[in-house]
Structure 1
Amino acid sequence: MTPLLAVRELTVRTRTGRTLVDRLSFTVAPGERLGLIGESGSGKSLTSLAALGLLPEALTADGSVELAGTEIVGASEKRLTAVRGRDAAIVFQEPLTALDPLMRVGNQIAGPLALHRGLKGTALRKAVTEELERVRLPEPGRIARSRPHELSGGQRQRVALAMALACEPRLLIADEPTTALDVTVQAELLELLDALVRERDMALLFISHDLAVVAGVADRVLVMKDGRAVEEGPVRDVVTAPGDPYTAALVESARTLENALTGRRTPR
């Protein structure tokens, strides 16, 4: 099967030459769920940004990132705009950094719908309402008229999820999407994300420092340390028989791992 996302020898460096991601390679097949895990500074979030051509100007990327047949590394902004939202979309850890604080959230969801689906007028307003309902937000009309600061953290993250999924991309990248939320809201959002991705048969690149969370949503896991991949394989194989000492330490620290594995769906 042709990969939906193919990362080959990806290297990310600072302008001073410091290597932050070192010759990283992996693939994500259509409909597959890959968990990318590592501690802070391991390079996992930089990898997610590189996958959509969103790296800061102070960083450079070499190697190849092919998304749905489009080479991302070195692509023009026009080319990247056509890919983002349509072929892949991303949900960040803190929605306040992803949402425009001055714009009503309904207008922010409307943006990709107008760009990629050509909706306008009544059809556009109806689609915005439907997306807010899909992420289980009550009073979608009120939410659409609200600005980000008027919503709770959990509501903002649901809005960010609605915006990411509005054009039904083939790949969703979720970069620590629940870390900033309390435990109860985190569990609700993870269940919602799992249900929406499964309903649409989307591929998922789920990034986290928490192996227990990854075990609950992913089919396969890639462990990163200091910008490099140290282990990769099916989730159950990696967590029950880790082959790298760093992975073993992650498993040891994941106190709820057994519950996550017991409650998760059967890997495909």
Structure 2
Amino acid sequence: MTRTVQQLFDLRGKTALVTGGSRGLGLQIAHALGEAGAKVMLTSRKAEDLEQAAAELQAAGIDARWIAADCGREEDIRRLADETLQRMGDVHILVNNAGAAWGSPAEDHPVEAWDKLMNLNVRGYFILSQHIAKKSMIPARYGRIINIASIAGLGGNPPEMQTIAYNTSKGAVVNFTRALGCEWGQYNITVNAICPGFFPSKMTRGTLERLGEDKLAAHAPLKRLGDDEDLKGTALLFASDAGKHITGQWLAVDGGVSSVTGG
């Protein structure tokens, strides 16, 4: 029997692991998945932030837990995956969101900063996806992987942005998503990416202060930046059976900025 829309978006009985989930976009996505019925495991580096985020989710009636881990360290990633599986059983939904940014002119960009971004923003996504897939999703023949990329990964930026490493890493995430979606479709694992535009956050604070929130908002056809609700619908689509025939795709959630720039 064909399911209703409500049934397709229902995540009851599902478990989600959200990296970088203690604040910002990761916490917004955790709310969306939990509100749809999923149990949620949060991770980031700082236990205090995670404790507060989990309490916020629990106050909203969401089954939320946390594990402190640095997704730039392979040993932490593998420990995170194993402990999550031990504590919560199969992981049905993986949200790769932990990331970093760095702003400096390309000609002076520190190599160590380049390496840090590639390690966390790309390599970390691969290692965690591989580990969760091999131990849970492939044997279960079910999985939903959501990679948080960026509209910065769809092309270049104006010279004043100065985010060469960030753009490059997020471009890699977009193509990582395409390639992994093609390869793991045979296991009923979908892999999709969300490409946010500017959302006020700790990571974008420096850029917002330097360029001005009003100026950045003016570039968007909708004339505003992203808010605390704007990723929820896309995340739920990719995480649920409503999106079961979508894989290897990216969707910009940017107020129309990428349409103007041709991304």
The TM-score, its normalising length taken from structure 2, stands at 0.37
| Structure (1 or 2) with the greater strand fraction | 1
Greater relative contact order, per chain length (Cα 8 Å cut-off, separation 6+): 1
| Structure (1 or 2) with the greater helix fraction | 2
